[in-house]
């Protein structure tokens, strides 16, 4: 991260990280209230110890810590003293960090330089560990990626997402090793009954790395460096030997790491999809470029030198303006957002129909989508009455041999999504250390050429879809809200019956990559 308080500094260009902290504040509060199990009376001198790992230069770390301190004080209602350890690499600008400390802070701050992939504290010395937007950084670029004789050699690229399978595999394995180290170390450092609160960006498992929006931005940056090498501004070898040590993980990969560790288990998942903002393309492109420069300039300068930075990011800004993926991913229509909201609220028995709708290109209208789901329910009911299999996509013609089992979680298509994990201890040495883990997931439109089903593959005539029957499961008030969302009229006065939104739904707002994202929080 770029230190200081200058134009391109991290402290002045970290609004999307601040948005992530704000988005999960209430859920973190609930986790502390419900899961933190510390006997305050047993604390030496009633001192509560918190570590923020990957703190960078602020001010986000101070906001996150203040939120945690306040909820702990409200939980225990007693006089406590707080000691907070701010951790990051030894190269972090701790001077800028500590010069920005709030004057009204309610804790005693200390700096702890070092990598959180290793041990940082004595055994059972911490009550809460917090980390936000840090665990996506790998401890190192995978060795295979830097080896010219390896199949994972990443020639002509600076990032893994659009590289070959062997390169992606090397990054995936490196993240797994790093996550194993992180969990192993924290399991020793956190007291029984303590909490680990984590947040970092990632992706849905079914989304290729090359189609994650943030990864596309890194690839665009790489193309700018390749162009500069072609012009002789930098050497080709310089590009070939530079790789960004960042990896966008999936919920399944995190769950696998937790299972390997044996101390924790995933308790729940919360999704926060993207919301379109009203900012112009120019404004958003500048925001992305500024965030990228703040996060990557120190790494780039170390390898390429300071001389090319302005030219590199000027070119990067131009590439963002030209990128179809950027414009599509960040400027989805309001209609598409409403379709996503409707589909995300359906019960799991609609997983197949929902997935098939999301694979239609272009996405059908709101009215047609509602009709497809209603028809799917009717065909499921008919199949069930005849003893048939109701798990197939009833409203769609599925090619023989191409049907796949549906995941238990809804696909979110081309949305930026955030996921929240609350991870509970299963009982390692009788310790009880729940982990709260939030993941901001960035996705863009999949290239469905030759894949998925078109709107014409549906068995439902268009005229039937214009006057759909209500999906069963809604209370009358819920149904009216749904009709309003879909811009439909309940002209027949049909009473809703009950399969939409059997889950608690809350909306959050999240800034990620410089964009306002509407969060659909499903608890």
Q: What is the pLDDT of residues 26-36, one digit of tens each?
A: 888 888 898 88
Contact between 515 and 283 under an 8 Å Cβ cutoff? The reply is no
Enclosing H/E stretch for 195:
strand 190-202
Least confident span in 300-314, 337-351, 367-381 = 337-351
Mean pLDDT comparison of 120-124, 189-193, 286-290, highest-scoring range: 120-124
Integer Cα distance of 470 and 377 in angstroms: 10
* CATH homologous superfamily of 10-522: Vaccinia Virus protein VP39 (3.40.50.150)
Q: Shortest CA distance to 85 belongs to which of 63, 66, 108, 105?
A: 108
Q: What contacts 471, CB < 8 A, 6 or more positions away?
A: 346, 370, 373, 374, 377, 496, 497, 499, 500
Mean pLDDT comparison of 99-108, 352-361, 468-477, highest-scoring range: 99-108
Of residues 129 and 392, which shows the higher confidence score?
A: 129
Residue 9 reports pLDDT greater than 60 = no
Q: Residue ranges of the domains in the chain?
A: 10-522
Please give the share of the chain, as a percent, with pLDDT higher than 90.
32
Confidence grade of residue 152 (pLDDT, cut at 50, 70, 90): very high
Confidence grade of residue 148 (pLDDT, cut at 50, 70, 90): very high
- The reported pLDDT for the residue numbered 408 is 39
Confidence grade of residue 146 (pLDDT, cut at 50, 70, 90): very high
Residue 263 reports pLDDT greater than 90 = no
- The reported pLDDT for the residue numbered 391 is 43
Following DSSP, what letter does each residue of 82-95 receive, concatenated? Answer: EEEEEEE-TTS-HH
Mean pLDDT comparison of 226-235, 413-422, 498-507, highest-scoring range: 226-235
- The reported pLDDT for the residue numbered 488 is 43
pLDDT in tens, 85-128: 999 999 888 988 898 898 889 999 999 999 999 999 999 999 99
Of residues 38 and 173, which shows the higher confidence score?
A: 173
- The reported pLDDT for the residue numbered 268 is 56
DSSP type of residue 405: P
For range 479-508, the mean pLDDT: 40
Residue 320 reports pLDDT greater than 50 = yes
Task: Judge if pTM exceeds 0.75.
Answer: no
């Amino acid at each position: 991260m770029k230190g200081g308080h200058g134009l391109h500094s991290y402290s002045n260009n970290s609004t999307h990280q601040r948005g992530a902290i704000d988005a999960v504040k209430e859920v973190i509060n609930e986790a502390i209230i419900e899961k933190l199990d510390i006997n305050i009376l047993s604390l030496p001198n009633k001192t509560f110890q918190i570590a923020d790992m990957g703190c960078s230069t602020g001010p986000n770390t101070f906001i996150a810590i203040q939120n945690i301190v306040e909820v702990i004080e409200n939980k225990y209602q007693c006089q406590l003293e707080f000691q907070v350890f701010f951790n990051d690499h030894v190269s972090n600008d701790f001077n800028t960090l500590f010069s920005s400390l709030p004057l009204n802070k309610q804790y005693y701050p200390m700096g702890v330089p070092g990598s959180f992939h290793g041990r940082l504290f004595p055994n059972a010395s911490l009550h809460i560990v917090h980390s936000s937007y840090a665990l996506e950084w790998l401890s190192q670029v995978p060795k295979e990626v830097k080896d010219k004789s390896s199949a994972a050699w990443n020639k002509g690229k600076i990032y893994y997402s659009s590289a070959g399978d062997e390169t992606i595999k090397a990054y995936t394995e490196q993240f797994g090793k790093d996550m194993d180290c992180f969990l192993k170390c924290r399991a020793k450092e956190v007291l029984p009954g303590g909490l680990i609160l984590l947040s970092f960006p990632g992706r849905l498992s079914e989304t290729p790395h090359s189609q994650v929006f943030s990864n596309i931005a890194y690839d665009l940056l790489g193309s700018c460096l390749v162009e500069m090498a072609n012009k002789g501004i930098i050497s080709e070898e310089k590009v070939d030997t530079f790789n960004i040590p960042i990896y966008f993980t999936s919920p399944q990969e995190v769950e696998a790491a937790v299972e390997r560790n044996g101390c924790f288990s995933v308790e729940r998942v919360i999704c926060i999809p993207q919301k379109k903002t009203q900012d112009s393309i120019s404004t958003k492109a500048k925001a992305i470029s500024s965030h990228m420069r703040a996060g990557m300039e120190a790494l780039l300068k170390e390898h390429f030198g300071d001389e090319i930075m302005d030219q590199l990011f000027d070119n990067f800004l131009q590439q963002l303006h030209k990128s179809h993926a950027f414009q599509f991913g960040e400027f989805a229509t309001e209609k598409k957002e409403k379709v996503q909201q409707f589909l995300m609220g359906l019960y799991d028995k609609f997983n197949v129909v929902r997935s098939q709708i999301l694979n239609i290109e272009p996405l059908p209208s709101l009215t047609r989508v509602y009709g497809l789901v209603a028809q799917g329910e009717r065909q499921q009911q008919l199949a069930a009455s005849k003893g048939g299999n109701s798990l197939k996509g009833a409203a769609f013609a599925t090619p023989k041999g191409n049907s796949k089992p549906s995941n238990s979680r809804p696909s979110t298509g081309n949305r930026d999504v955030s996921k929240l994990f609350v991870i509970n201890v299963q009982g390692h040495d009788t310790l009880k250390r729940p982990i709260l883990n939030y993941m901001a997931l960035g996705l863009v439109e999949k290239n469905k050429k030759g894949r998925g089903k078109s709107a014409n593959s549906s068995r439902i005539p268009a005229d039937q879809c214009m006057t759909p029957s209500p999906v069963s499961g809604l209370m009358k008030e819920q149904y009216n809200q749904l009709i309003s969302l879909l811009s439909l009229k309940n002209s027949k006065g049909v009473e809703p019956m009950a399969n939409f939104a059997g889950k608690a739904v809350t909306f959050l707002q999240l800034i990620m990559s410089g964009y306002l994202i509407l969060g659909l929080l499903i608890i």
